[in-house]
C-alpha cells in the first residue's frame, strides 16, 4: 500500500496527470539450490511479500522513469533501445525489460519499492518483471508469466550486463502464496510445495551490501562453465561427483563440487520438507552454506557469523546464506511461535561477533507472483 501511494504521488507530482495502469512484482528468497540455476539445476525459492510497484501512463515524448527520493532515470525511446548502448541510470532495469519484451509504446512510469537493494532479495529482478508485465499488458504482447521471467533474465544478461540465471525472475513472476517452488532450471518445470504452517521464513540481513555485477559472480560462473567444458558436458547438472573429482585444477574441482553436491541437496531438501524432517532440513541447509563458503567461496565473514548465529537457536529448522553471496542475507526456517525470540537472540549474537555492521531481521510471507492491472 505504501508503495502504491508513493508511486502514485510521484507520478502525479512529476507528470501532472493520473496514471492509467499499475503493475507489481515481488522479491524472492531462496531456501536452497544456490549457484546452480546456470547449470540446469533445481532451485527452491519463494516470492516474498515485499516488492516493486510501477504506475504508468502513455507518453507522447519518449519513456520517462521517476521514483520518489531518487533522481529521474535517464529517458529512452522504446523503438530505439539498443543493448549495446544501454541507458546508464537506474532506469536501465525498466528500459532493459521494455527492450526484452519488445515494447511498442512509450510510457511514463513511476517506480516504488519496499525491497531493500543489495540484500540478495532480487530487487533488480522485481523491477524487470514489474516493467515486463506492465508493457505486456499495455501493448497486448500476449506473453505468459514464464515468458516475462525469461525476458527479465534477457534484460539482466544482455541489457544490464549481469550473467545471472533464471531463478529470481521466475520466482518473482510465478510465486504462489503459502508455497515455495522447486524450479527445475533445466526444463523450467515448477512444483509448488506448501510451507509448513508452523514455520516462519526469517530473512537475516547482514548489513553488507552486495552487487552481482562487480562481485565474483561472473568469475564463479566462468569457472564452473570451464569445469563443465573440461568434463565434456554443457552444464554441470550432467556431471557426477566422480567426474568432478577427476578435474585436475583444484579451483575448478571445488567450484564444480559445489554445483554437483548442491543439486543433490535440493532434491533431498524437497523430500525432507514434505516429511517435516527437521533434522534433515537443518543438515542440508548447513551443508549448503558450508559448500558455498568453502568450495564456491561466495560467502563472507558476516554471512558466516549470521548463519552460525541462526544455527545456535533452538527454534531453528535450518539456516544458510541466500542469493548470490558476497554480502546480503541469510534465510532461516524457524518455529513460528518462537520467531520473535529467535530474531532478538540472533541479532544479539551477530552484534557481538561482527563489529561495524548491523543485522536486521524480518519474517516474510510466501506471496503470489507479479500482476498488472488497469486503474479506474
Ligand atoms: C543471483 C542470481 C541468480 C542465482 C543466484 C545464486 O541471485 O540472479 O540467478 O544465480 O544469484 O543462486
Query: What mean pLDDT value characterizes the chain?
Result: 96
| Residue 212, pLDDT above cutoff 80 | no
* pLDDT at residue 167, rounded to an integer: 98
User: How far, in Å, is the centroid of ligand 1 from the Cα of 122?
Assistant: 9
Number of domains the chain contains = 2
State what percent of residues in the chain have pLDDT above 90.
94
Q: Is 132 in the pocket of ligand 1 (CB under 6 A)?
A: no
88 shares its domain with 163: yes
Please choose from 167, 185, 321 the residue to mutate so as to test ligand 1's pocket, defined by most ligand atoms within 8 A of CB: 167
CA of 324 to the centre of ligand 1 (A): 5
Cα 34 to Cα 324: distance, rounded to the nearest angstrom = 7
| Locus of grid cell 515455495 | 180
**Is 354 near ligand 1, meaning CB less than 6 Å away?**
no
**Do residues 306 and 189 both lie within one domain?**
no
Together in a domain, 169 and 279: no
Query: Are residues 147 and 51 part of one domain?
Result: yes
Query: Structural domain of residue 259, as residue ranges?
Result: 194-364
Q: Identify whether residues 155 and 235 lie together within a single domain.
A: no
Q: What's the CATH number where 266 sits?
A: 3.30.70.890
Any atom of ligand 1 within 6 Å of the Cβ of 34: yes
Q: Which residues contact 126 (CB under 8 A, 6 or more apart)?
A: 25, 26, 27, 51, 52, 113, 115, 172
Query: pLDDT for 20-76, tens place per residue?
Result: 999 999 999 999 999 999 999 999 999 999 999 999 999 999 999 999 989 999 999
Q: Are 286 and 304 in contact (CB under 8 A)?
A: no
- Residue 170: which CATH number? 3.30.230.10
Query: What is the rounded distance in angstroms from the CA atom of residue 46 to the CA atom of residue 26?
Result: 10
| Three cell numbers written together for 188 | 523450467
Same domain membership, residue 96 and residue 38 = yes
Per residue in 128-173, pLDDT tens?
A: 999 999 999 999 999 999 999 999 999 999 999 999 999 999 999 9
117 pLDDT tier (thresholds 50, 70, 90): confident
**Is a pLDDT exceeding 80 seen at residue 211?**
no
Q: How far apart are CA 330 and CA 32, in angstroms?
A: 11
8 A C-beta contact, residue 55 and residue 109? yes
329 shares a domain with 218: yes
**Cβ contacts of 244-251, under 8 Å, gap ≥ 24:** 251/223
Q: Is 250 exposed, middle or buried (0-12, 13-18, 19+ CB in 10 A)?
A: exposed
pLDDT tens per residue, range 60-78: 999 999 999 899 999 999 9
Euclidean distance between CA atoms 91 and 76, whole angstroms = 9
Domain match, 67 and 189 both: yes
Residue 168 designated active-site: yes
Which pLDDT does position 246 carry in this prediction?
97
Q: How far is the CA of 301 from the centre of ligand 1 (A)?
A: 20
Return the pLDDT at 3: 87
Judge if 345 and 229 occupy the same domain.
Answer: yes
Q: Are residues 41 and 24 in the same domain?
A: yes
Decide whether any atom of ligand 1 lies within 6 Å of the 156 Cβ.
Answer: no
Pair (258, 272) in one structural domain: yes
Active-site residue, selected from the candidate residues 168, 243, 295, 304: 168
pTM of this prediction? 0.97
User: Is residue 266 domain-shared with residue 221, that is, in the same domain?
Assistant: yes
Q: What is the mean pLDDT of residues 120-135?
A: 96
Amino acid at each position: 500500500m505504501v508503495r502504491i501511494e508513493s508511486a502514485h504521488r510521484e507520478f502525479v507530482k512529476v507528470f501532472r496527470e493520473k496514471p492509467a495502469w499499475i503493475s507489481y512484482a515481488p522479491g524472492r528468497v531462496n531456501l536452497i539450490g544456490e549457484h546452480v540455476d546456470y547449470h540446469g539445476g533445481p532451485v527452491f525459492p519463494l516470492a516474498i511479500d515485499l516488492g516493486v510497484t510501477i504506475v504508468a501512463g502513455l507518453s507522447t515524448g519518449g519513456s520517462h522513469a521517476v521514483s520518489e527520493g531518487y533522481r529521474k532515470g535517464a529517458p529512452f525511446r522504446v523503438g530505439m533501445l539498443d543493448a549495446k548502448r544501454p541507458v546508464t541510470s537506474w532506469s536501465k532495469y525498466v528500459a532493459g525489460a521494455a527492450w526484452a519484451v519488445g515494447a511498442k509504446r512509450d510510457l511514463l512510469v513511476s517506480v516504488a519499492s519496499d525491497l531493500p537493494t543489495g540484500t540478495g532479495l532480487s530487487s533488480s529482478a522485481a523491477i524487470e518483471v514489474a516493467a515486463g508485465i506492465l508493457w505486456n499488458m499495455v501493448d497486448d504482447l500476449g506473453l505468459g508469466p514464464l515468458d516475462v521471467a525469461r525476458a527479465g533474465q534477457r534484460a539482466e544478461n544482455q541489457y544490464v550486463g549481469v550473467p545471472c540465471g533464471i531463478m529470481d525472475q521466475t520466482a518473482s513472476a510465478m510465486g504462489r502464496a503459502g508455497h515455495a517452488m522447486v524450479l527445475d532450471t533445466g526444463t523450467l518445470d515448477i512444483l509448488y510445495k506448501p510451507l509448513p504452517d508452523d514455520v516462519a521464513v526469517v530473512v537475516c540481513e547482514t548489513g553488507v551490501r552486495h552487487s552481482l555485477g562487480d562481485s565474483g559472480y561472473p568469475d564463479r560462473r566462468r569457472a564452473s562453465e570451464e569445469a563443465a567444458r573440461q568434463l565434456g558436458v554443457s552444464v554441470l547438472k550432467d556431471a557426477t561427483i566422480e567426474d568432478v573429482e577427476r578435474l585436475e585444477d583444484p579451483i575448478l574441482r571445488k567450484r564444480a563440487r559445489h554445483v554437483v553436491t548442491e543439486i543433490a541437496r535440493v532434491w533431498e531438501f524437497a523430500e525432507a520438507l514434505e516429511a517435516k524432517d527437521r533434522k534433515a532440513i537443518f543438515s542440508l541447509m548447513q551443508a549448503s552454506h558450508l559448500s558455498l563458503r568453502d568450495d564456491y567461496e561466495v560467502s563472507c565473514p558476516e554471512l558466516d557469523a549470521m548463519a552460525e548465529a541462526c544455527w545456535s537457536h533452538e527454534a531453528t529448522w535450518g539456516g544458510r546464506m541466500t542469493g548470490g553471496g558476497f554480502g546480503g542475507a541469510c534465510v532461516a526456517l524457524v518455529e513460528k511461535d518462537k520467531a520473535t525470540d529467535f530474531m532478538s537472540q540472533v541479532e544479539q549474537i551477530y552484534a557481538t561477533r561482527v563489529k561495524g555492521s548491523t543485522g536486521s531481521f524480518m519474517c516474510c510471507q510466501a506471496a503470489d507472483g507479479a500482476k498488472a492491472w488497469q486503474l479506474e
